[in-house]
Structure 1
Amino acid sequence: MSALTMHWEKCIAESAKPAYLMIPDLIEEALQSGRLQARDRLPALRDLANALRLNYTTVARGYNEARKRGLIDTKAGSGTFVRGRAPSMPLRGGTGAEMTMNNPPEPASMAARLRESAAQLMGAADPYTLLRYQDFGGTPADRAVATRWLKRLVPACRPETVLITPGIHSALVALLSQLARPGQPICVDTLAYPGIKAIAAQLGVHLQALPGDEDGPLPTAFELLCKSQKPCAFYCNPTIQNPGTRTVPQARRELLADVALRYSVPIIEDDAYGMLPPNGPDAFATLAPELTYYVTGLSKCFGAGLRIALIHAPTPRQTQRLAGTLRATTVMASPFNTLLATAWIQDGTVDDMLKALRAENVARQAIAREVLGERRFEADPNGFHLWLPIPAASAWTPSELALHLRSRSIGAVSSVAFSTDGNPPDAIRLCLGGPGDRDEIEESLRIVVDTLDDPHHLHSAML
């Protein structure tokens, strides 16, 4: 390890990044370059501290960060070992059961209709019109159609407060870029969409986790933070939350909205799954319309490849300000995708797809209940992911379990990916939409059960 630690010492000395955050970066870099291999033993804390000319506490924090990322594992009495990265899996269409990315199922009953509809739309369109730059945020006609769609959940929205963008993720980049202020936190749940974590890290924005209960973030904690340090925004994923599947009930939404209103804290309502339930609580955009930026899209109704998201801002002026930020980062949504989305909204294809998707979700959740049996897990019957706690008596950690399942061609995501408070629960998220059919769902879940029941898997090869 001497040559490697000399390299690490040089990198740490030349970087402005805190040393404890550099250590996991350097471990990951060494894995990618082949300087470290899975199961390699790392130096003891005191030895590495001496080699890197750092204090013991800094190296201990560095190892802890690496452990959170799933890069290393420490066995009492044995030392610290490289865990390694999971082998790659095809995202879709290969032999693996992709339960990592939160893709919706693909109802077989809709395939022919979607194919025929898309062909007709493309055949009737002027190809050169679709290849040109378009009005940013959608044409007036496109925005009118999008508004009719949004009114199901945000009845007060108008075309002048709506923008069409290429995916929810790009909308969140623009919103954080516009709302975030140096030194001010953005309030989030203790478990959150990994994309918001990545965006915040890229922009240097601090995410402040709010403690919560089974109904969501605690209003008292939110108010306490508002009093002690004015947050830039409150980010929430209130319907079929990713990853925990919880829907924040009406009463809790009203209390949280009241705090935001009293302290004038903008709300970013990421309602990616909002269209899946046939009905539900009021959106924050209805409870606090003057503060809420409401974001939804068609990725969780049709598929991630459609990349069409809709944003409703509080006022036309704020919509135009947001349009300027979005223009700088995304230019415009794909005219091809916008054509498909607006046409499918108008001709009822979206409604039929939603019905088929809900039916498929219910069927897949029923399979999950049967296979998982008495095991505790969280799910929404209209959703297509589930949250599976790991029993306290299990020898598995979430990262080890996710890594091992991937070695068996089952994609799963460790709770570490979602944690915003540095204290992830022992659980994994499984997407029921990725596997191609119901038989594959059943087979995949039986492998998960088998893995949990047989701790000898913990010592089998992972790479």
Structure 2
Amino acid sequence: MASITHHWIKKLSESRKPAYLLIPELIEDDLANGRLRPRDRLPGLRDLAEELQLNYTTVARAYAEARKRGLLDSHAGSGTFVRGRTATLPLAGGSSVEMTMNMPPEPAEFASRLRESSARLMASSDPYRLLRYQDFGGSSEDRAAATQWLKRRFTDCDEDKVLVCPGIHGALVALVSQLARPGGTICLDTLAYPGIKAIAAQLGVRLQALARDDEGPLAHAFEALCKTEKPSAFYINPTIQNPSTVTLSSKRREALADVALRYSVPIIEDDAYGLLPEAPPEAFAALAPDLTYYVTGFSKTFGAGLRVAYIRAPNTRRAQHLAGALRATTVMASPFTVLLATQWVIDGTASDMLAAIRAESNARQATASRVLSDRPFDADRDGFHLWLPVPRETGWQASELAMQLRTRGIGAVSAAAFATDGNPPEAVRVCLGGPKTLGECEDALRMIADTLEHPHHLHSPVM
């Protein structure tokens, strides 16, 4: 153990991170590289404080943090022992079941088609053309494909209003910077995509949460805000919302669009999941076309690596202004990924892939309904995440549950990451798309159900 503490002394002296947070990371690193093994005994608090030349309180906090992360167990009278990570479910590309990032399932039957299509495209393309600067907003062919794709949601979609850009997040950065000055206000749901929170903070834009009910933001709350201060924009994720899974009804959409029209408030419609349902309600872009910036893309529904998004602006002039903002923030979309997206829209691969992802999502949601039948949760059968309330009687807080699930190899995100009003509900978001197979998804869901059922696992030793 002396060699371990000598190694820690060096790391502590080189890092600016507080020692009570760094020590748990050192324990985890040493478990990964074999310096420590499960059931190894660690020095007592006073001995370790003396060895590391730290005060007793700092070491006590470090051990407490390590216990919270599931790395240590303490037994009265016998000491502190390394617990280590519990066995994780295998997943290609990682050592745990990734259920934190909201990514789609990967239909196995499509792998060969995507591989062959990509190879044909690359073989027939001029590589130097793909390495050059491109027409910003996409070539005529790219924008035609984008327009074809967007017309699945609404008909008022002329090519000169459409821009191709590198991912939805980049599109939102440009939109927020274009519509809201520093100190301005964007109103939105009390639960929202964490990216919009990060973008607003980076650009100095204030987010104003609107009161909601089970159907989403309330129109009268939106109107009350418009009467007191005109917001710079209204941001909404209306279909299979991240994280609540709510799809706004046609009636609620019409009421919110009516307020925006009466007070001339631009709408940012983040419809990342809008094409997953076969018959979603009418888009805001159809209800308020002269105010709505409609955004969708492939990274949220096909895979994070296909970072291509489409924006439909209210008119040609605003599309041109937005193009300038996009060019300043992202320069251009990658010609390689845009080539794939355009070809897959044209030849029907995108439509077929969407149908396959929808079918796989239906199967995983059915599995979740069966495994979690004793626990109420919110989900959409065509979506690939669920919203799981954590009632007080379970013995868990949402943040503790998410942390404990990580120690068991399951990724989940607590509601605090999504709250825009500072008052998160006790709930976690679980993504069903991360596990490689339906069987792995079921195993992960059973582990979540087991953890909910047995809160004492938080302190139980691994034997």
| Local SS of the residue matching 1:230 | coil
Deviations 1:264-296 (A, max 9, x none): 000000000011011111100110011000000
Partner residue in 2 for 1:436: 436
**Does the alignment pair 1:382 with 2:366?**
no
Q: Is the 8 A contact 1:271 1:295 kept in 2?
A: yes
* AA matched with 1:113: R
Deviation at 1:34, TM superposition (A): 4.3
Alignment of 1:245-260 (within 5 A): 245-260=245-260
**Does the alignment pair 1:155 with 2:139?**
no
Q: In 2, Cα distance between the equivalents of 1:86 and 1:180?
A: 43
In 2 relative to 1, CA 396–461 (structure 1 residues): closer, same or farther, beyond 3 Å? Answer: farther
* AA matched with 2:430: L
Q: Is the 8 A contact 1:137 1:163 kept in 2?
A: yes
Q: Is the 8 A contact 1:31 1:37 kept in 2?
A: no
Q: In 2, Cα distance between the equivalents of 1:303 and 1:85?
A: 30
Alignment of 1:191-270 (within 5 A): 191-270=191-270
**Does the alignment pair 1:174 with 2:158?**
no
* AA matched with 2:358: R
Deviation at 1:301, TM superposition (A): 2.7
Partner residue in 2 for 1:280: 280
Q: Is the 8 A contact 2:91 2:435 kept in 1?
A: no
Deviations 1:185-208 (A, max 9, x none): 110100000000011111111100
Partner residue in 2 for 1:329: 329
Deviation at 1:183, TM superposition (A): 3.4
Partner residue in 1 for 2:408: 408
**Does the alignment pair 1:186 with 2:186?**
yes
* AA matched with 2:111: A
Same amino acid, percent of matched pairs: 64
Q: Is the 8 A contact 2:103 2:301 kept in 1?
A: no
In 2 relative to 1, CA 82–206 (structure 1 residues): closer, same or farther, beyond 3 Å? Answer: farther
Deviation at 1:328, TM superposition (A): 0.3
Deviation at 1:32, TM superposition (A): 7.2
Partner residue in 2 for 1:37: 21
Count of residue pairs the alignment pairs up: 394
| Local SS of the residue matching 2:392 | coil
Q: Is the 8 A contact 2:99 2:430 kept in 1?
A: yes
Deviations 1:90-147 (A, max 9, x none): 9962231000001100001111111111100100001111111100010112101110
| Local SS of the residue matching 1:373 | coil
Deviation at 1:399, TM superposition (A): 1.0
**Does the alignment pair 1:370 with 2:370?**
yes
Q: Is the 8 A contact 2:97 2:410 kept in 1?
A: yes
* AA matched with 2:185: P
Partner residue in 1 for 2:28: none
* AA matched with 2:145: V
Structure of greater Rg: 2
In 2 relative to 1, CA 348–32 (structure 1 residues): closer, same or farther, beyond 3 Å? Answer: farther
* AA matched with 1:150: L
| Local SS of the residue matching 2:268 | strand
Q: In 2, Cα distance between the equivalents of 1:332 and 1:85?
A: 41
Partner residue in 2 for 1:306: 306
In 2 relative to 1, CA 461–173 (structure 1 residues): closer, same or farther, beyond 3 Å? Answer: farther
Q: In 1, Cα distance between the equivalents of 2:146 and 2:336?
A: 15
Deviation at 1:214, TM superposition (A): 1.4
Q: Is the 8 A contact 1:189 1:217 kept in 2?
A: yes
Q: In 1, Cα distance between the equivalents of 2:199 and 2:268?
A: 14
Deviation at 1:373, TM superposition (A): 1.1
Q: In 1, Cα distance between the equivalents of 2:255 and 2:386?
A: 27
Deviation at 1:458, TM superposition (A): 2.5
Deviations 1:11-34 (A, max 9, x none): xxxxxxxxxxxxxxxxxxx99724
* AA matched with 1:294: Y
* AA matched with 1:37: L
Q: In 2, Cα distance between the equivalents of 1:331 and 1:189?
A: 30
Deviation at 1:380, TM superposition (A): 0.3
In 2 relative to 1, CA 143–202 (structure 1 residues): closer, same or farther, beyond 3 Å? Answer: same
Q: In 2, Cα distance between the equivalents of 1:321 and 1:154?
A: 23
Q: In 2, Cα distance between the equivalents of 1:311 and 1:447?
A: 40
In 2 relative to 1, CA 259–86 (structure 1 residues): closer, same or farther, beyond 3 Å? Answer: farther
Q: Is the 8 A contact 1:299 1:307 kept in 2?
A: yes
Deviations 1:292-317 (A, max 9, x none): 00000011332010000000000000
Q: In 1, Cα distance between the equivalents of 2:140 and 2:70?
A: 46
* AA matched with 2:17: S
Deviation at 1:396, TM superposition (A): 1.1
Q: In 1, Cα distance between the equivalents of 2:333 and 2:22?
A: 42
Partner residue in 1 for 2:391: 391
Backbone CA RMSD of aligned residues: 2.3
Q: In 1, Cα distance between the equivalents of 2:174 and 2:375?
A: 40
* AA matched with 2:233: A
**Does the alignment pair 1:293 with 2:300?**
no
* AA matched with 1:98: E
| Local SS of the residue matching 1:305 | coil
Q: Is the 8 A contact 2:70 2:458 kept in 1?
A: no
Which structure 2 residue ranges, 5 or more long, are not aligned? 1-13, 25-60, 72-84
